[in-house]
Structure 1
Amino acid sequence: MKISSSKSIIEFLLFEKIEFIFGYPGGAVLHIYDEIFKSGIKHILVRHEQAAVHIADGFSRTSNKIGVVIVTSGPGYTNCITGISTSNFDNSSILILCGQVIKELISQNSFQELDNMNLSSTIVKNFFSLNCYYNIQYLISNSIEISKKKKGPVVIDFPKNLTSNNLKVRSKFPFFKKKKKTICIINFNFNFKRPLFIIGGGIKNNFYKKIFDYFIYFIKIPFVSTFMGLGGFNYKNLYYLGWLGMHGDSDVNNFVHFSDFIICIGTRLDDRITNKNNLFSPYAKIIHIDNNKNSISKTIFCNNFYITDLINLINKNIKKKNILIWWKFIIFLKKFFKKKYKNDFFFCKPQQIVEFIFFLSKGRYFISTDVGQHQMFAAKYYNFNFKYFVSSGGLGTMGFGFPASIGIKFANKNKKVLLITGEGSFQMMMQELSTCKQYKINIVIINLNNQSLGMVKQWQELNYNNRYSNSYIASLPNFKNLINSYNFYSFSFYNIKKFYYLFSKILFNDIFCFINVYINQKENVFPIQLFNKSMCEFITFYSIKKYDKKFNFSYL
């Protein structure tokens, strides 16, 4: 039996149990859209192609499934570039089906023709350009396997004439047999005084989580998380110390700085973690474990590394010293940096808002964020369960949070999804309110409104002598009227008590709700590392750098 080449695309997606396709139609993909109409596969119409990729990203991160996107040629694909870059940085499994002009018109500057391969060669795991319709099934099969294995975006470029209904292919789906996973046995010698684990975003799958939790409870070694690693483990773990980085916990940055043995799992140690590379953990021997060889020694040289997809840490030939003094040092620093923000029960403080959200939700809901101060407040004051935190880490994409939360809802229909955002980020993708209305997507949006681009403003205060160049937004919309125009619920607050009362009621209702909370404009995110300095040099309530010489590390 033979079927049309465009139908074979849809049939294979159904064969792979793809539940949703996120996209926006255009001339170059109309053959495929015609088959979508006939097949009954669930297509989600977005209002902007960038949002389609972000939705697929959020869907993929919280479901262990592949997110599929379909867009047309030219501007349809270029609108996806930001979303593809975000997915590539944060390793989300996404397949992008992109239309292209007919084969005879390629390289002739035709209408809506672009060289998609060269445009995106550095931000995708693989790019395939279809040159013969007989290869359609093979390319899709190959692309899905690559995206799952390499954890990133894969693009297939379809010339329109090769997806014509007149072209027939065999209805046999060549697919790759899944290889049996092999266990890589890794034995460590903990013959060190100040050992520490650093856990990154690569830990976020069930298998790694079970192995890691078992190992930590067995070996009793403390661990810290990167920003992207949040939600990859049980936050109630007694050996979890916090997260590190530019805005990470002050004590955690010091733990990493003074450690003498660091094991990194699933993190590439980018500049937001290490600050100045040659000053990162000067006392430590570093071991790196990752399934992506490009992440090994990318910024920080590692003495030993293991490129493996499965990690089995077992009790065999492990030599471990007594690290009681190291734990005493950890407890001391925890107390030293215990001071937090001052409470204010009349005006809304973003830290209080996030803590109230965690207290009322008890960490059981999915949290998505955009990028900015609100993102850091959410990371610092909300304790995340496994895979319940979705944010743009590597690229830092403003506008990511809203469409990503829609994708989370598609992947977890019976779960509550909360979006913590800012007015600057929300306006970049607020057209997707229409998508929420069409598909009855109910999420709760908490907009921490300081009427400025908060992170930009903070940097201008610290580095540009309070010269606020274009960091204040002077023409914000009336959010309440905007949200109400879509027949959604909307509320605005200046008072923390009223917010607490309303939010406690909303959590028990399955509705779309936008909560606009006006917060103090002068509230900033601390600590913040000093540029081009070591991990333990930062702006906060206290600094421990002056005590550096008082610690005798030969005895610690």
Structure 2
Amino acid sequence: MKISSSKIIIKSLISEKIEFVFGYPGGAVLHIYDAIFLSNIKHILVRHEQAAVHIADGYSRSSNKKGVVIVTSGPGYTNCITGIATSNFDNSSIIILCGQVIKKLIAQNSFQELDNLSISNSIIKNFYSINCYYNIQYIISNSFNIKGPTVIDFPKDLTSSNNLLRNKYPFLIKKNTRNNKLKLKLKLKFYRPIILIGGGICSKKNYFLFDKFINNINIPFISSLMGIGNFNYRSLYYLGWLGMHGGADTNTVINFSDLIICLGTRLDDRITNNNNLFCPYAKIIHIDINLNSISKNIYCENFFIIDIKKFLKKKICYKNVKFWWKFIIFLNKFFYKRYKNDFFFCKPQEIIEFIFIISKGKFIISTDVGQHQMFAAKFYNFNFKSFITSGGLGTMGFGFPSSIGTKFANKNKKILLITGEGSFQMMMQELSTCKQYKINIIIINLNNQSLGMVKQWQEMNYKNRYSNSYISSLPNFKKLINSYNFYAFNFYNIKHFYFFFKKIICFDLFCFINIYIIQKENVFPIQIYNKSMCECINFFSIKKYEKKIFFYNF
């Protein structure tokens, strides 16, 4: 039997057990959309192509599935670039099926024609440009084996129903390959060891292996921002996460360690601060499956290019770390006080802690980028794959569409978006998508009427010169949300929010909660730029940097 090449595309997706595709139609992909109409695959219509990629990204991160996006040529694809870069930095698995003009018009500056490979070469893992409809099924199936964003470029004429081929192998037969046994023995002659884990450890099997591994060796461990949610946060050996806004005790501990075992992290600049001053006393052992992540920022002489699962099954022999633990416990007590309590006004730290206490950590939380992202990471304890955020690229506008994708992947779980008014406005057109597909999520908008992180830097580094960091033309969020027939509420008092939130989580509905928080509240500790890991502005030195800032006007 012979079928059209556009149907082969859909059959190849179905054979890979793809339930949803996210996209926006256009002239160059209408043959594929016609095949979707005649199939059982579910297409989710977004309102912007960037949102389609973020939705697929959130869908992929919160599950073990691939996120698939379909967009048209030209502006359809260029709108995806930010989403692709976000996915690439955080190494999430998505596939973009992109339309292209017909073959004979390529390289002639045709209408809606672009060189997609040149545009996105540095932010993708692989790029396929289809030149013959006979290899469509092979390329699609092969792209499912690639970790990270993959782009497949389809000239429109190759997806035409006139191109018929035998449907003998609609997908590749995946063969089980035997992994060679690796001989790895580590005898550590160190007194201040620590383990640093990143986003590369993310898998259900690694989650349990690491928990067993850490309980056997009794060595303290810390995580990067992207490593949050990939381990048991209740573990007695977990100290916190490090980096620019990481805990002062965590940054101090790693600064004085003499051995760092890095698992699935590329040690980017938000972790290391000044590369030349990063952990001067430590020997670094780097474990990663990707060679490109080794010595990317910090030179590492000792590394192993292996699957982390293999390393976690090994035994490690080490010296007595009794005095190391005493030092860690002392630092933890010394830096315990993290913010000032305020029982009348809404403080973001208290809001996040209340959310965790009330929900008992059962939410899958998606965040945008800014102060609210840091508050969520610091004051909420995350379970496995329950923290969806843009850590590498830091994309404002990521949170709302990614929470929609997370809901598609986890239909029976509660999804919470923590955002700010600046980030939410970048992708708020997806309210229409939520209405069409009845997506029920809870949105917490921490509204300080400013671009919070920018404002904080301007206070600390630019003598309170607030250049374009305050937003004086915000919409009435309650009326905006109500116009889509969704529920919306405003809060100015922490006590009222607490009792309301306790009730609202019992219902399955879309709810937007706009909370006016204290405008001068900033994220602490914060590392001092270009200094060592332990040099930071923490709770004890906040007063030096606090300014008298006007309160918001209602």
TM range (shorter): over 0.9
Contact 2:101 2:112 in 1 (8 A): yes
- Tell me the SS of whatever aligns to 2:317: coil
Q: Partners in 1 of 2:522 and 2:429 — Cα distance?
A: 29
**Pairs within 5 Å for 1:203-222:** 203-222=201-220
Query: What is the letter of the counterpart of residue 129 of structure 2?
Result: S
- Tell me the SS of whatever aligns to 1:447: strand
Contact 2:195 2:221 in 1 (8 A): yes
Query: What is the letter of the counterpart of residue 444 of structure 2?
Result: I
Contact 1:418 1:444 in 2 (8 A): yes
Contact 2:489 2:512 in 1 (8 A): yes
The structure 2 residue matched to 1:160, chosen from 149, 156, 159, is: 156
Query: What is the letter of the counterpart of residue 148 of structure 2?
Result: G
- Alignment of 1:456 with 2:451, yes or no, is no
2:100 match: 100
Contact 1:186 1:314 in 2 (8 A): no
1:473 match: 471
Deviations 1:394-448 (A, max 9, x none): 0000000000000000000000000000000000000000000000000000000
Q: Partners in 1 of 2:527 and 2:14 — Cα distance?
A: 49
Contact 2:22 2:55 in 1 (8 A): yes
Please list every run of 5 or more consecutive structure 1 residues that lacks an aligned counterpart in the other structure. Answer: 544-556
Query: What is the letter of the counterpart of residue 177 of structure 1?
Result: K
1:90 match: 90
Of 532-541 and 93-102, deviating more is 532-541
Query: What is the letter of the counterpart of residue 221 of structure 1?
Result: I
Q: Residues 177, 499 of structure 1: CA spacing in aligned structure 2 closer, same or farther, 3 A cutoff?
A: same
Deviations 1:250-289 (A, max 9, x none): 0000111000000000100000000010100100000001
2:136 match: 136
Q: Partners in 2 of 1:155 and 1:241 — Cα distance?
A: 39
Q: Partners in 2 of 1:230 and 1:181 — Cα distance?
A: 31
Contact 2:31 2:159 in 1 (8 A): yes
**Pairs within 5 Å for 1:99-498:** 99-146=99-146, 151-171=147-167, 172-180=169-177, 182=179, 184-313=182-311, 318-498=316-496
Identity of matched residues, % = 73
- Tell me the SS of whatever aligns to 1:227: coil
Deviations 1:229-248 (A, max 9, x none): 00000100010000000000
Q: Partners in 2 of 1:7 and 1:317 — Cα distance?
A: 51
- Tell me the SS of whatever aligns to 2:385: coil
TM-superposed deviation, 1:138: 1.0
Q: Partners in 1 of 2:98 and 2:114 — Cα distance?
A: 11
Contact 1:142 1:176 in 2 (8 A): no
Please list every run of 5 or more consecutive structure 2 residues that lacks an aligned counterpart in the other structure. Answer: 542-554
Contact 2:15 2:171 in 1 (8 A): no
- Tell me the SS of whatever aligns to 2:436: helix
Q: Partners in 1 of 2:408 and 2:183 — Cα distance?
A: 37
**Pairs within 5 Å for 1:3-18:** 3-18=3-18
Q: Residues 332, 23 of structure 1: CA spacing in aligned structure 2 closer, same or farther, 3 A cutoff?
A: same
Deviations 1:166-219 (A, max 9, x none): 101221224152433525453222221000000100111012112111110001
Query: What is the letter of the counterpart of residue 155 of structure 1?
Result: V
Q: Partners in 2 of 1:410 and 1:216 — Cα distance?
A: 33
1:31 match: 31
TM-superposed deviation, 1:318: 3.9
1:549 match: none
Q: Partners in 1 of 2:518 and 2:540 — Cα distance?
A: 23
- Tell me the SS of whatever aligns to 1:122: helix
Contact 1:370 1:401 in 2 (8 A): yes
Query: What is the letter of the counterpart of residue 69 of structure 2?
Result: V
Q: Residues 178, 420 of structure 1: CA spacing in aligned structure 2 closer, same or farther, 3 A cutoff?
A: farther
Deviations 1:334-374 (A, max 9, x none): 01111121111110000000000000111111000000000
Contact 1:402 1:426 in 2 (8 A): yes
Q: Residues 196, 463 of structure 1: CA spacing in aligned structure 2 closer, same or farther, 3 A cutoff?
A: same
Q: Partners in 1 of 2:511 and 2:183 — Cα distance?
A: 49
Q: Residues 36, 230 of structure 1: CA spacing in aligned structure 2 closer, same or farther, 3 A cutoff?
A: same
- Tell me the SS of whatever aligns to 1:386: coil
Q: Residues 25, 316 of structure 1: CA spacing in aligned structure 2 closer, same or farther, 3 A cutoff?
A: closer
Contact 1:185 1:311 in 2 (8 A): no
TM-superposed deviation, 1:315: 7.7
Query: What is the letter of the counterpart of residue 325 of structure 2?
Result: W
- Tell me the SS of whatever aligns to 2:64: coil
Of 199-208 and 20-29, deviating more is 199-208
Contact 2:288 2:308 in 1 (8 A): no
Q: Residues 178, 518 of structure 1: CA spacing in aligned structure 2 closer, same or farther, 3 A cutoff?
A: farther
Query: What is the letter of the counterpart of residue 65 of structure 1?
Result: K
Q: Partners in 1 of 2:491 and 2:257 — Cα distance?
A: 45
Query: What is the letter of the counterpart of residue 366 of structure 1?
Result: I
Q: Partners in 2 of 1:470 and 1:245 — Cα distance?
A: 27
Contact 1:90 1:392 in 2 (8 A): yes
Contact 2:248 2:525 in 1 (8 A): yes
Query: What is the letter of the counterpart of residue 162 of structure 2?
Result: N
Of 309-318 and 361-370, deviating more is 309-318
Q: Residues 413, 316 of structure 1: CA spacing in aligned structure 2 closer, same or farther, 3 A cutoff?
A: closer
Q: Partners in 2 of 1:12 and 1:317 — Cα distance?
A: 43
2:43 match: 43
Query: What is the letter of the counterpart of residue 398 of structure 1?
Result: M
Q: Partners in 2 of 1:407 and 1:318 — Cα distance?
A: 40
Contact 2:210 2:312 in 1 (8 A): no
How large is the RMSD of aligned CA atoms in angstroms?
1.2
Q: Residues 235, 287 of structure 1: CA spacing in aligned structure 2 closer, same or farther, 3 A cutoff?
A: same
Q: Partners in 2 of 1:112 and 1:84 — Cα distance?
A: 20
TM-superposed deviation, 1:40: 2.4
Aligned residues: 539
Of 284-293 and 176-185, deviating more is 176-185
Contact 1:187 1:313 in 2 (8 A): no
- Tell me the SS of whatever aligns to 1:189: strand
TM-superposed deviation, 1:76: 0.2
